Every structure is written in C-alpha cells, then in structure tokens.
Amino acid sequence: MTRVTASKVSEQLPEMLDCIAKSGERIILRRKGKDVGAIVSVRDLRLLRKIEDHLDNQAADRALREGGRVPWKVLKKKLGLE
C-alpha cells in the first residue's frame, strides 16, 4: 500500500489513478503525519458497500428475531422526519 501526503495528491493524481486502475492498489492519504483517507478502486468500493449491506441485513435480522420492532410513527419522529 502506498502512502502519499495530501499535498502531493494534486501533483500525482493522474499517476495514482493509472496505478489504481491497472493494479487495484490502495493509496493511503496522509496529513500531518496521520492517515486520513484512502483512494481505492471502484471494485474495492463495491466490495465495501456489499459488506456494509450484509452487516446491516444481519443487524436487521437480529433485531427482528429479538422483537425489536419500532412503530413507523416513532421512528419518523426519532429521525426528525415529522
């Protein structure tokens, strides 16, 4: 995995995108000596979304098994949708 300072991104972005597109390499972005973000391939992003969806579905299934039902009216109020 390559690490690049945030200030170098604009200088190296075309090369980084080529590398990501060809090899799927992940690039870590650093600011003030700390990792703050990453540039990943669309393939990796899709995988992350699938993992998130899977975990969300597991949590929803678990809540249903435990009887964790919330009335729609209560949920709308809690989410500020009313």
Query: For the segment 54-76, what is each residue's pLDDT rounded down to a tens digit?
Result: 999 998 888 888 886 778 898 88
- The pTM for the full model equals 0.67
Report how many domains make up the chain.
2
Answer whether residue 4 shows pLDDT above 70: yes
> Which residue range is the domain that position 17 belongs to?
1-40
Dist. CA 77–CA 74, nearest whole Å: 5
Neighbours of 29 (CB within 10 A): 19
Question: How many whole angstroms from its chain centre is CA 3?
Answer: 18
* pLDDT recorded at residue 66: 83
- Identify whether residues 1 and 15 lie together within a single domain: yes
Beta strands in 1-82 (DSSP E): 2-5, 27-31, 34-39
- Identify whether residues 64 and 51 lie together within a single domain: yes
- Identify whether residues 53 and 76 lie together within a single domain: yes
* pLDDT recorded at residue 63: 81
